[in-house]
Amino acid sequence: MDGNLMDQSPFLKLGRWQWWLMVAINILFLIVGQAAAVLLGRFYYDQGGNSEWMATFVQTAGFPILFIPLFLLRPSRKPETSTSSSTSPSIKLVALLYFVLGLVVAGDNMLYSVGLLYLSASTYSLICATQLAFNAVFSYFLNSQKMTALILNSVAILSLSAALIAVNEDSEVPSGVNKGNYFLGFVCTLGASALYSLLLSLMQLSFQKVLKRETFSVVLEMQIYTSLVATCVSTLGLFVSGEWKGLPQEMEGFRSGRVPYVLTLVSTAISWQVCAVGVVGLIFAVSSLFSNVISTLSLAITPLAALIVFHDKMNGVKVIAMLLALCGFCSYIYQNYLDDANARKMESHSQSHTHDIEESHHV
């Protein structure tokens, strides 16, 4: 955590128990928001919804909600010095960055929408858990993260978990979906997981190389403006594809009725933004790595919720795949724990060494 962040973080003014409470709330937002969004997305398709662009649109359309925490927790602005203003990136560069990342978000959301259309909620979530393995690979190449034995073990286990789902002949397939569509859904979901992990690494790289600061407001602004771009792209896709013409008939044909149709879409949009608040909060309060780890844990838990809500079939292969995903998660989080412990030890040693030098100067 850099000095700039430490000066501006509103969380650092909190006591230790308050900080843990804030982290716990953000974890709850992420897990509940993501699980609810996935289940609502599957419900939309099960009840007769079939617009892929609409399913993509609602993943980011609720971004105005993020202005609430942005304004509530925005730090008071200090007068900019000549040094800080000279190192700040130009507005054009930041706008270009947000535009490119927004396009990536839109493409990623579309892949997720296609994947959820052709897969059950439990299968979809288990495949999405591979994002942690992709995150390790992209972080190694883009963010200079060390590739340790534990991380390699996590990558191997999560890859095996996805492979088991791919070859599982007894996987429950939504009605009207053939094997070809099932395979398409698998590939799209796997591709979406890889693209999401690449997106996280690109965002981290953007903070380091372009924005050069990671305050709460900057992280939240990135989420808002990339979501704005992604929402505009989704809206354009909805009209260009002609899917908007079928929305009135889709609403009329929705098995639960017109009001539940609207409520499903609105609730899905809100759920994704609740998840986004949790993601951003954990990135700021802890780290982007920890945020991704909790997101993966949520995806490993979602199949249990799908089992209760949709009565998804949980056969032996799925159980093994879920256990492998949890093992991969544990391996990854343990490596994060070791890195954190080592960093604390190095910091303590450095502070002790500095204290000794100051004492010797006083003598």
Provide DSSP, 287-340.
-HHHHHHHHHHHHHHHHHHHHHHT-----HHHHHHHHHHHHHHHHHHHHHHHHH
pLDDT interval class at 97 (50, 70, 90): very high
**What is the rounded CA–CA span in Å between residue 252 and residue 52?**
17
| pLDDT the model gives residue 341 | 78
**What is the rounded CA–CA span in Å between residue 179 and residue 255?**
25
Residue 126 lies in a domain: yes
Sequence-distant (6+) residues with CB within 8 A of 296 are: 129, 131, 132, 325, 329, 332
Sequence-distant (6+) residues with CB within 8 A of 194 are: 130, 131, 134
| C-beta separation of 132 from 328 below 8 A | yes
Residue 62 lies in a domain: yes
pLDDT interval class at 7 (50, 70, 90): very low
Residue 305 lies in a domain: yes
| C-beta separation of 131 from 197 below 8 A | yes
| pLDDT the model gives residue 164 | 79
15 versus 284: the higher-pLDDT residue is 284
358 versus 18: the higher-pLDDT residue is 18
pLDDT interval class at 82 (50, 70, 90): very low
| pLDDT the model gives residue 83 | 46
**What is the rounded CA–CA span in Å between residue 30 and residue 8?**
24
pLDDT interval class at 15 (50, 70, 90): low
Amino acid residing at 321: A
Residue 313 clears pLDDT 50, i.e. is over it: yes
Average pLDDT, the chain: 82
Mean pLDDT for the stretch of residues 130-151: 82
Mean pLDDT for the stretch of residues 332-357: 74
Q: Rounded to two decimals, what is the model's pTM? A: 0.82
| pLDDT the model gives residue 75 | 59
Mean pLDDT for the stretch of residues 143-172: 76
pLDDT interval class at 299 (50, 70, 90): confident
Residue 28 lies in a domain: yes
Residue 158 lies in a domain: yes
| C-beta separation of 317 from 170 below 8 A | yes
**What is the rounded CA–CA span in Å between residue 163 and residue 134?**
14
**Count of the separate structural domains present in the chain:** 1
Amino acid residing at 188: C
pLDDT in tens, 222-264: 889 999 999 999 999 999 999 999 999 999 999 999 999 999 9
Mean pLDDT for the stretch of residues 293-321: 77
pLDDT in tens, 190-224: 999 999 889 888 888 888 888 877 677 888 888 89
Among 32-46, 107-121, 309-323, name the one with the lowest average pLDDT. 309-323
- Greatest pairwise CA separation for the chain in angstroms: 85
Residue 220 lies in a domain: yes
Mean pLDDT for the stretch of residues 160-165: 79
What counts of helices (H) and strands (E) characterise the chain? 15, 0
- The separation between the first and the last C-alpha atoms of the chain, rounded to the nearest angstrom, is 33
281 versus 104: the higher-pLDDT residue is 104
Residue 235 lies in a domain: yes
Residue 356 clears pLDDT 80, i.e. is over it: no
| pLDDT the model gives residue 141 | 85
| C-beta separation of 117 from 176 below 8 A | no
Among 14-18, 70-74, 112-116, 302-306, name the one with the lowest average pLDDT. 14-18
| pLDDT the model gives residue 307 | 79
**What is the rounded CA–CA span in Å between residue 223 and residue 78?**
23
Sequence-distant (6+) residues with CB within 8 A of 251 are: 258, 261, 262
| pLDDT the model gives residue 247 | 94
What domain range includes position 31?
15-71+89-350
Strand, helix or coil for residue 130: coil
Sequence-distant (6+) residues with CB within 8 A of 21 are: none
Residue 77 lies in a domain: no
Sequence-distant (6+) residues with CB within 8 A of 164 are: 317, 320, 321, 324
CA distances from 318 to 3, 125, 211, 300 (A): 45, 11, 42, 11
Amino acid residing at 13: K
Query: DSSP assignment, residue 207?
Result: I
| pLDDT the model gives residue 116 | 93
* Backbone torsions φ then ψ of 108, nearest 5 degrees: -65, -45
Sequence-distant (6+) residues with CB within 8 A of 315 are: 168, 170, 171
